[in-house]
Structure 1
Amino acid sequence: MIPVVRVPSKTHFEFMAWCLDAGAGGIMVPHLETVEEMKAVIAACRFPPAGHRSFPPFTFLPGVTDTTPEGETIFSLANKHTAIIPQIESRLGVQNLKDIMSLEDVSAVMIGHVDLRLDMGLSGFTGNEPEYVAANQAIVEASKECNAPLMGAALGPEAIKARIDEGYRIMLNCFDLHTLAYGMIKTLGEARVTAEEHMQSIHSEQPKL
């Protein structure tokens, strides 16, 4: 598995560098809306001359982490293989999506459907409102035209099928909060049932006076 870290905001450039220096294979950046914002993020995540990411001395171990194929350096390889994934979550972001996707350094695009709907004055995870349907169509068309992978939440079998039909190729199938919460609920529920059944069996086996 390759860790991808969602940074706090599109202007937290130091967080982007820290996450990459710590070993993340890529970053996800929320609420990207313009090409100018995207270019600033790219510059923060790429070593010169492609950007201005600083040399990370604490991750540079001669003979260990600096081994590269002939003709490459750790910096050129990092620039080629570090994923940068903007999150598009507003009408302005959708409006500029094609130009954002056209940038070479954009690895994929995450569509934040709930925030997009909120930006439209809508509620819920999905719907068939004309503006939302039109935005989804524009997103899919831009992805095909730019050959840029789409990423989105797909919770459950039906959502997964729908996302595949829409052209999504990277899917978020669970969240850490949901996994922890529902996992704990399930485990504690099973423990309660086991304990209650066992206590009942103990009481039923005790001799009656």
Structure 2
Amino acid sequence: MPRNNLIETISEDRVCTAVGIRVIANNEVVSLAKAAGYDSVFIDLEHSVFSEKDASQLCSAAISSGITPFVRVPYECGHGYIQRVLDGGAMGIVYPHICTADEARRVVSSTKFPPKGKRSLTAALPHFHFQKIGAADLIQQLDSTCSTVFVLVETKECLENIEDIAAVDGVDVLLVGANDLSLELGVLGEWEHQTFQTALKKIATTARKAGKVFGVAGMYSRPDLCKRIVRDLGARYVLGQFDIGLLAMAMNKNMEVLRDLGTGFYPYLMR
């Protein structure tokens, strides 16, 4: 059975770390994530042009590397699409723009097998390296460790209905989508604004009371605030940078070094 690092880190009261993958569809990015020490990868199908095949290859590589793959799907992508992503190796689905408890119940139904949901059964899955597994064991293992449900909290309506959403059986993680939520609240990127801080506290308190995991995404540029959210509000899932952001930062830093190599030498070269 593949390890779900989110479940394991929560059981040890540790933070589950994640790196986002949006532009690099090669397995090497998973190897780099493993070498860096990340617990999970956050594969983005909402804001990328990745195909289900791309996602499946990344998920398979992550499972083989001992990193847990979670996949964010597009809004209202449909039950059939969710089925393909799960069968492709995802160990959890991140659902954007969930606003009501009814919507939360629908996405749980797409993720879980009967009687909890309506996921259909197939064999030879990458979660088990395509080995034959008995149907009853397969369902039990997939439902318990390979079907984590993340609800992205990123709208005013979701915030207003957060208690009802958190009460839905099968919802595992309340994940703050900081950029979209702050945009909806009229304080885009103002992480220390009282309105945003009040929203964070409400979500964290609701998650704790409902026995759900509280997570945060989109605030990687403010590690000081992320540390406070972990320490004071109990966040246990934190999404760091995406691959494109990490590449951009590394390239900019490298270019600073290269520019510095030529400082003070141009007069000599002109002789």
TM-score over 0.5 for the pair: yes
Whichever of the two has the greater Rg, that structure is 1
Q: CA deviation at 1:192?
A: 4.7
Choose from 143, 159, 163 the match for 2:207.
143
Q: Distance in 1 between matches of 2:116 and 2:96?
A: 22
What is the distance in 2 between the residues matched to 1:42 and 1:87? 13
Secondary structure class of the residue paired with 2:89: coil
1:13 to 2:76 alignment: no
Q: Does 1:101 align with 2:166?
A: yes
Q: Which residue of 1 aligns with 2:150?
A: 85
Tell me if structure 2 keeps the 8 A contact 1:90–1:116: yes
Question: Structure 1 residue 48: deviation in Å?
Answer: 2.3
Q: Give the structure with the larger strand fraction.
A: 2
Task: Please report how far the alpha carbon of residue 62 of structure 1 lies from its aligned counterpart in structure 2 after TM superposition.
Answer: 10
- Unaligned 5+ segments in structure 2 are 1-66
Confirm or deny: 8 A CA contact 2:124 2:130 kept in the other structure. Answer: no
- Output aligned runs, 1:103-118, within 5 Å: 103-118=168-183
- Taking structure 1 as reference, are residues 91 and 63 closer, same or farther at Cα in structure 2, changes over 3 Å only? closer
Aligned residue number for residue 187 of structure 1? 254
**Pair 1:59–1:169, CA change in 2 (3 A):** closer
Tell me, yes or no, if the aligned pair for 1:66 and 1:73 is still in contact at 8 Å: no
Q: CA deviation at 1:51?
A: 1.6
Q: Give the CA deviation at 1:142.
A: 0.7
Pick one of 92, 106, 121 that aligns with 1:55: 121
Deviates more, 1:153-162 or 1:76-85: 153-162
SS at structure 1 position matched to 2:215? strand
Q: Select 2:185's aligned residue among 120, 124, 131.
A: 120
> How far, CA to CA, are the matches of 1:61 and 1:193 in structure 2?
48
User: Which one-letter code corresponds to 2:200 in the other structure?
Assistant: N
Counterpart of 1:6 in structure 2: which amino acid?
A: R
Say yes or no: does 1:172 pair with 2:231. Answer: no
Counterparts of 2:114 and 2:210 in 1: how far apart (Å)? 26
TM-score by length of 1: 0.81
Q: Matched residue of 2:168: which SS?
A: coil
Contact 1:33 1:92 in 2 (8 A): yes
Matched residue pairs, number? 200
- For residue 27 of structure 1, give the secondary structure of its aligned residue in structure 2: strand
Cα distance in 1 for residues equivalent to 2:129 and 2:193? 57
More displaced stretch, 32-41 vs 117-126: 117-126
Measured after TM superposition, the shift of residue 58 of structure 1 is: 5.7
Confirm or deny: 8 A CA contact 1:4 1:26 kept in the other structure. Answer: yes
Distance in 1 between residues matched to 2:255 and 2:123, nearest whole Å = 46
Deviations 1:135-176 (A, max 9, x none): 233212212211211110342431222211122111112222
Aligned amino acid, residue 179 of structure 2: V
Q: Name the structure 1 match of 2:108.
A: 42
User: 1:23 matched to which residue of 2?
Assistant: 89
- Measured in 2, the distance between the counterparts of 1:171 and 1:79 equals 23
